[in-house]
Each structure stands twice: as C-alpha cells, then as structure tokens.
Chains A and B, each alone.
Chain A
Amino acid sequence: MEGTEEWKTQLEAWKNQLEKWLNQGIEYSQQIPPIQLYAAITILLFTTLLLLLIRVFKRVKSSTIVLTGLSGSGKTVIFYQLRDGSSHEGTVTSMEPNEDTFVLHSETAKRAKIKPVHLVDVPGHARLRPKLDEFLPQAAGIVFVVDAVEFLLNCRAASEYLYDILTKASVVKKKIPVLILCNKTDKVTAHSKEFIRKQMEKEIDKLRASRSAISEADIANDFTLGVAGEAFSFSHCYNKVTVAEASGLTGEISQVEQFIREYIKP
C-alpha cells in the first residue's frame, strides 16, 4: 500500500519533469527560423538520395563489357558463346548491336548467386561505328576482337579502329581496360598473339605520327598515345591493354571470361 503511494508520487514527479523538457524542446525549436529547419531536412534527404544514386550508378556502370572490332572478326559468335555456350546456326554480318544481360554460360552450373554481365556486341561495319560511342561511356571493359587468320590483310584497318578507341576521351578518362582478343586460333594459319601485338604496335606508331599532326590544333579533345619520342607500345597507354587468344567457333573463350570476371567481380 505504502509502496504504491510512493511510486505514484514518483511517477508524478517524472511526468512533471518530462512535461517541462518537452515544453523546453518545443520552445527551442520555435526559436529556430523555419528556413534553417527545412534546409536541414533537405540536406538529409539529399545526401541519402545521392548515396542511393551513386550505388545504383556504380552497379550499372561496372557491369558492361563492349565487344568491338572489324566486321567478320567473330564478335557475334563470341557473344553467343558467352551467353549460350553455342554459336547456334552460325552468323551473318550484324546490322544492329546485340545486347543482353546474363550470367556467363560457363557459370550457370555454379550454385552461388553470380552477378550478371551486361554484354554488348557492336557491329564492325564502318557505317555503324558511331553506335560504339553510345556504349563506351558505361563500359567496364572493352574486348577488341581481331581475326588472327586474315590478320595481315586487316592489320591497318584494325589498328586504325583500335587507335580511334584508345584516343576517345570517354575511354581514356575512365581508363577502361582493353583486351585485344586474337580470334579464330582453331585455324593452323592463325597468327600468334605476340605477332599481332607487335604488328599493331608498329601500325599505331605510324598512325600516331600522322594523327598527332592533325590534332595539334585541338589538343583539348584528342589524346595522343604513348610516350613521345619512343616507339609505341601498348604498355604506354593510359589504359591497361592486354592480349589474349580465343576461338569463338570451337568455344575456347576462357581467356575472355577471365578478363570479364576480372573487372566484373562475380
């Protein structure tokens, strides 16, 4: 009996105290100009939104791989090998990019949840090259496919295309890694990747001379490649450039998959 009485007065005291604090709080908040209050709230919202956006963008950006190269180098075959593990009935010259988001075929057997890859195959026909610019800004990696069998015929055209890619502002600024993929190695007449790398370096070296002459006037948007006064080597690039081999037709594409997974962690 006595205990409850005591407890009651205690409660009363707390209540009074609380009420006092509450009043103080309200009074205090009324002293703050409303603008400041709104500003605080806006900032809070803004930062959370920004953080969310950054996360979203990061995810989108980092899962795109762009397949590029001259027409006939075997991009579309590789695209379907990566996706379905088969080149189906074969391919013809592409008129539009192929684009899909998927888990690599070789990984579908694995249990764990794997991050899908957004793969884009941009046709090599010169008239369709402007399409490439749409995809490069979001690329996490570029696979430049080269026909290793008909290489000498195409060396100059391929080097020129690669040069254009390596000097694009969108590629240089983000240091997008580039893989030069020597395709069709199932054929015995295919050139080795070392040979191809050397030849392309030589070609680009020549291109550099003629192109840098052109670009003198507008240094702002054209990047010159390599170290001045030294023979060009891919190791001089701002981007990491590596060379690998594959055969799209027979499905030997493990080196591409390795490249993809290096930059898009599963």
Chain B
Amino acid sequence: MLEQLLIFTRGGLILWACKELGNALKGSPIDTLIRSCLLEERSGAELYNYDAPGAAYTLKWTFHNDLGLVFVAVFQRILHLLYVDELLAMVKREFSEIYDPKRTLYTNFDETFRQLKKEAEARAEDLKKSKQVDASSRAGAFDLNKLQKLRAKGAKKPETVVSKVSKAEPKKKPTKKNTVWDDTPRQAKLDYTDPVGENGDNIEVVAADHGESMMDKEEVFSSDSEAEEAEEVGKDSKPETKKKGWFSSMFQSIAGKANLEKSDLEPALKALKDRLMTKNVAEEIAEKLCESVAASLEGKEVGFVHEDFFDSTAMEEALVRILTPRRSIDILRDVHAAKEQRKPYVVVFVGVNGVGKSTNLAKVAYWLQQHNISVMMAACDTFRSGAVEQLRTHARRLQIPIFEKGYEKDPAIVAKEAIQEATRNVSEVVLVDTAGRMQDNEPLMRALSKLIYLNKPDLVLFVGEALVGNDAVDQLSKFEQKLADLSASPNTRLIDGILLTKFDTIDDKVGAALSMVYISGAPVMFVGCGQSYTDLKKLNVKSIVKTLLK
C-alpha cells in the first residue's frame, strides 16, 4: 500500500496530501528525507529508506524545478510497489497544470489523484501479467518517467551509497615518508619521525613562542568581514563582460531551447564532472554531484538556467552547501563544556599510515595551548617503532605532558589510563595519537574500534591527506564502516570531523576536501598546511569552492 503522497513547495508548505491514505506516518520520514538526502546533494539517488520504531518506509520523489515543487511518495518497504515512479510522474504532470503560486488549497486534486492512482495500479497489474511489456513502448506517454529511470541508473540506496566503492586500486605498501619540504630555512622542521637520541639531549627546548597559530589569523569563515563584503558587492555590480570561462561556454550551447532535458545537460555535466576530477575530486563523488545538480535543473526554463550558470550558482550553491559544516566546529566551546563536567575533552586522531596524524596532533596541541588550555598527549601508537619517541619530541618542544606506556600494549588500555591520569591532574584536553592503519587491516581496525568504544572520546578526527584522490572514498567509507561493524555497542560512533593535511602541497587540487566531507558528512575542522606548529588553519569554504569551479 502507498502510505502517503505529498506535494509541497521547496519553501516547505504542504500544498496537498492524500487524505484518503490518511494514516499518520510513524516518525518523520519526510523531514528526514529532506534533511539527510535532498539537502545533502543526494537527490540524484533513486530512493531513500527510512526506519523508525515500528515502520520501515521507502520514499521516492521527483521535483518540478521550474515551479519549485516536490512530490514525495511513502510506502512500506516490504511492498515493492511497481507503479510509484509512474504515479509520481503523472501526479507531477497533472498537478503542475493546476498549480498557481498564489493558491494554497487544492482539494479538487483529490478526485484527479484517485483517477491517476487507479490508472497506475491497473497499468502495474498489466505489467505483472504480461511480463514482456516493453518499457520503451510507454516512453512516449511518460517521458518524465524515462528521465527518472535514466537518472536513477546506477544509483543505490542512499544509506549505502558510499559503501559500494568503484575500485580497489592496488595500494602500495605504505612506507614512512620522510619528505623534506623546501621550506624557508628559519622554520623549524616538525618531523621527528626518526627518534632523535633516546634521551633527547640534542633537542633544544623551545617552549617559547613559535608564533601565532594560523587557526587564529584566519581571514576566513566570517563572511561578515567588511572587506569581503565590499569585494562581493564590487563583483556583483561589475558588468557581465568579463570572461566567463569554460563553464558558461558549455551552457551557451544549450541556450535557446525552451525547457531543459536530460540529454541537453549531458555534455555540460560531463565537462563539469571532468573539471571536478582534475581538481582531484573522487570520480564517484563527482558523478553523484552532477546527478544531483542535473536533478535540480531538469525541466527548468533555459533562460533561467542560463542566468543561473552565469553566476554559476547551481553548482556553487551545491558545493557551498556540502562544505558548510552541519554541526558546530567550535572545539574551544566544547572543551569548556567538558570542563564544567570535570571531564577531560578527549580527541582521537585516526587515519591511514603516514598522513600526518602525529605532526598535526602537535599542531592542535600548540593551538590549544595558545588559548590557555592545558593539554596532555597520549602515545597510543604502540605499533610502529619510533612513534612514541616522535610524540615525546613534540611534547618536549611544546612542554606538554605526555602519557606513554611503551610498545606492545593494548592502545585502548593506554588511552584509558591516559584519560584517568588527565582527570587526576586536571588536564582539559587529551590528544590521543593512534597507529596508522590501512582501512583493510582487520585486526588493527578492530583495535581502533575497541579504543573508541572503550573510551568514548568527544571527538574522533579522521586525518586525511589532501593529496588523496579516488582513494579518499575508500579510506573514509571503510573506516566508517569498520568502526560501525566492529563496535560492540548499537549506537555506533563514527567520524566526527576531518583534519586535512599537507594542504600546502596540492596547489589547486583541493578536491579531497569535497570528497571527504561528502562521504562522511563530517566537517573539516582543521587544515594542516605546512611543517611548523603554526601551520594549522580553518577551512576556507569560499576559496575552496572558487578553486573547484575555476
């Protein structure tokens, strides 16, 4: 049975709901669909599964982009309703005929809907009977339907989208990179990977200032900066004469048609996808994004789209939306909140080998220290030789206490003891360094899962290299999946935030930021951009988007 069919505006006003079906939905499937699927640029997917106590719904939807309408059908998952796509397409067509933006009441649609439903059901019956009904023979009548199928091609269940990874590119065995970056000579190098003398005699203790962390110098994020505003205004008022680049030229070719169809968009979207991929966005992500943008453009009048693309808003808005953090990323506030509860704030750094976990842990420690927060490091990389000494070196330079228990210990226990120690001597933050591990390494992933389950950290930071391309999808989704699979508790802890490292080495290939955020839904909380303690930044969403679309 169809549970509900709703028609609402993008503004959120329900215009029509089927009263006949009327039984109240359990939970709030529609709101959840909008919040976690449609607004997350996943609207290119075919369906969305919603689970609530006592209900397992599947939702399907279609947009009328020109009128700004959304049509959603809700049905029990166990019933494979064949006619939903068709019904939605018919409802959309009929409803757009009578739609008037000024009108809010459409009781006269009840009768139309009854008819349409009957029709669709009958058709589905026929389809069942004569198995070999050729889909293409109906194509003329339901071109929208065809489009939707086209769009849905290859789409998977929204919840599991990420798990199906395109390729398992043979990964070379991670080796410790000991890169020497061509830094300005005065900058102290941060790489203490190789243990420098057990007792560290040759380390000068520079507790003194290394300068201000770039976290604080940031010009970014506060969009209310006057200068930025002025710049924005200036830009807007500039005549449209400046060269618009590849993007608009792609769309120029489709101007002049009345309404956009999928096929018109294809070349432009292909170009867009390629462009994103040259910026190092993972292929799968680029694909999905384009599908989503296509879904939001289909059926729009070209004049409108044309304009849209002159400001390249459709894509830009989508990108800004993805990169804007969903949750608060004010760590300092969270630290203070934890302090009130007399608990240390625990951050665990996880990630594959050699991405910069330990180095950036030290940068975060330095930044926190600058804000008068007492920090403690916990050396829970009990796996790679030299890891403890590496961390100890950082600790000594920054004059931060470190908790260590040597090697061959269970990292989960070490972390636990570290947190107890921190509670005793009132450290406000505990930064837990973990061993780098490949996402496929079952035993190590299990150990990490245990560490997280046992210690319930306040923040699980996934550390990833900005250099990563397609592998970003694999790394992050496998990390999330393994953590979810292996944890013994039902309410699984996944990744809360992302730390993007080596941002200084990637030039304009900023795509990893987008890939990682899209997959995990977690915000980028820090960006590591160099080899000194101050080289830690916040993500500048505006400039990333600009770079991606350049």
On A, residues with C-beta under 8 Å from B are 71-72, 76, 80, 84, 86, 88-98, 121, 123, 125-130, 133, 156-157, 160, 167-170, 206-207, 209-211, 213-214, 216-218, 220-222
Chain B interface (Cβ < 8 Å from any Cβ of A) = 6, 8-17, 30-31, 34-35, 38-40, 68, 70, 104-105, 212, 215-219, 222-227, 229, 320-322, 324-328, 330, 332-333, 335-337, 371-372
Closest 5 CB pairs of A and B: A94-B12, A210-B332, A169-B224, A221-B225, A98-B11
CA distance A127 to B36 in the complex (A): 11
Give, as a whole number of angstroms, the nearest-CB distance from A201 to chain B.
Answer: 15
Q: Which residues of B contact A96 (CB under 8 A)?
A: 9-11, 68
With contacts A84-B104, A92-B30, A213-B371 taken as known, whether A218 is within 8 angstroms of B222 at the C-beta atoms is: yes
What secondary structure prevails in chain B residues at the interface with A? Answer: mixed
B12 lies within 8 A of A210 (CB): no
A90, A91, A126: the one contacting B326 at CB < 8 Å is: A126
User: Judging by beta carbons under 8 Å apart, are B39 and A92 in contact?
Assistant: no
Q: How far is the CB of B295 from chain A (nearest CB, A)?
A: 13
Candidates A92, A169, A170, A210; contact of B31 at CB < 8 Å? A92
User: Do residues A206 and B30 form an inter-chain contact, with CB atoms below 8 A?
Assistant: no
Which of B8, B30, B325, B332 has a CB less than 8 Å from the CB of A126? B325
A169 to B15, CA, bound (A): 38
B225 touches A210 (CB 8 A): no
Known: A133-B224, A170-B224, A206-B333. A76 touches B371 (CB 8 A): no
Please give, as numbers and ranges, the residues of chain A lying within 8 Å of B227 by CB-CB distance.
221
* B70 and A95 form a contact (CB under 8 A): yes
A128 contact from B9, B321, B325, B371, Cβ within 8 A = B321
Cα A222 to Cα B217 with chains together (Å): 12
Identify B324's interface contact among A129, A206, A213, CB under 8 A. A129
Of the candidates A95, A130, A157, A167, which one forms a contact with B12 in the assembled complex, judged by CB atoms under 8 Å apart? A95
Whole-angstrom CA separation of A129 from B212 in the bound complex: 30
Say whether A214 contacts B216, CB under 8 Å: yes
A residues within 8 A CB of B222?
218, 221-222
| B34 lies within 8 A of A93 (CB) | yes
Bound complex: CA A98 to CA B216 (Å): 36
Task: Say whether A211 contacts B333, CB under 8 Å.
Answer: yes
Residues of B within 8 Å of A128, CB to CB, are 39, 321
CA distance A97 to B13 in the complex (A): 11
Evaluate contact between B13 and A210: CB separation under 8 angstroms.
Answer: no
Cα A129 to Cα B217 with chains together (Å): 24
| A126-B326, A221-B225 known; A210-B336 Cβ under 8 A | yes
Tell me whether B333 and A125 are in contact (CB under 8 A): no
